[in-house]
């Protein structure tokens, strides 16, 4: 039987982890801007710089998928990279219109379209790959500071997070996060504020469900790792 004091300590740790998760969302949004700035500063020529300026993060990711798999159709991009079919269709049309990719129709199947990069597309793809190599090097250097046990816990927690469904269900009991008295940061300028609040509430309930499965020791590890990885600035 869990002692009340231990249960209170666990609830406190869960709340601290949830606060860290909200801050991580804000940090990731800010890093999207940092990535875009890096791409603009390192563009090989003004033409590529202009195209990068007009591209969204999703457009860059779809181009990255095409560059990795070309020639490739939209269904394969959707399945392997987790984009919806509608998103792939919309983004590929925009990339074709900007002459970043080219559609290729099969002689015996006019309905299936394969995509390849143009020379412009290849320049942007190589630039995007170089940026992620820089990020990977920085992440590797940063994670070297952790012990094997800490890294194993981090891998375990992140894999569980990726596989877990965090939507609140009735069998999980009453919702822990309610809309009353709770305010959340503005998550994206192009989203409706009401939709944002509902999305955050759903995510918080899902996080709570997962964190309740951890014991106090693992919760302390999760809190320490989150604070170190996402909220501490380190010099290069």
Rounded CA gap, 218 and 206, in Å?
18
pTM of the model: 0.62
**What is the pLDDT at residue 193?**
45
Integer angstrom CA distances of residue 14 from 36, 90, 108, 159, 174 = 34, 40, 57, 18, 17
**What is the pLDDT at residue 101?**
97
pLDDT at 85 over 50: yes
Q: CATH classification of 43-126, choosing from 3.30.450.20, 3.40.640.10, 3.40.50.1580, 1.10.10.10?
A: 1.10.10.10
The pLDDT tens digits for 164-218 are: 776 665 555 555 454 444 444 443 444 444 444 445 556 666 666 666 666 667 7
- Average pLDDT along the chain: 78
Integer angstrom CA distances of residue 51 from 38, 107, 178 = 14, 31, 43
pLDDT at 1 over 60: no
pLDDT band, residue 163 (cuts 50/70/90): confident
The pLDDT tens digits for 4-54 are: 556 778 888 888 888 887 777 777 666 677 888 899 999 999 999 999 999
What is the location of CATH 1.10.10.10 in the chain? 43-126
């Amino acid at each position: 039987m869990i002692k009340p004091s231990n249960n209170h300590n666990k609830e406190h740790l869960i709340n601290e982890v949830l606060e860290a998760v909200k801050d991580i969302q804000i940090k990731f949004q800010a890093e999207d801007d940092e990535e875009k700035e890096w791409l603009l500063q390192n563009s090989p020529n003004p033409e590529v710089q202009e195209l990068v300026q007009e591209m969204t993060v999703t457009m860059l990711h779809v181009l990255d998928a095409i560059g990795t798999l070309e020639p490739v159709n939209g269904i394969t991009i959707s399945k392997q990279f987790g984009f919806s079919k509608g998103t792939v269709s919309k983004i590929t049309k925009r990339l074709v219109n900007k002459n970043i990719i080219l559609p290729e129709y099969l002689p015996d199947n006019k309905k299936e379209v394969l995509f390849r990069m143009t020379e412009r597309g290849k320049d942007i793809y190589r630039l995007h790959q170089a940026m992620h190599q820089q990020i990977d090097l920085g992440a590797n250097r940063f994670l070297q500071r952790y012990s094997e046990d800490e890294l194993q816990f981090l891998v375990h927690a992140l894999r569980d997070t990726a596989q877990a469904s965090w939507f609140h269900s009735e069998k999980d009991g009453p919702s822990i996060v309610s809309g009353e008295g709770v305010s959340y940061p503005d998550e994206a300028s192009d989203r409706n504020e009401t939709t944002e609040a509902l999305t955050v509430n759903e995510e918080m309930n899902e996080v709570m469900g997962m964190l309740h499965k951890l014991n106090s020791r693992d919760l302390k590890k999760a809190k320490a790792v989150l604070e170190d990885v996402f909220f501490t600035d380190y010099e290069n």
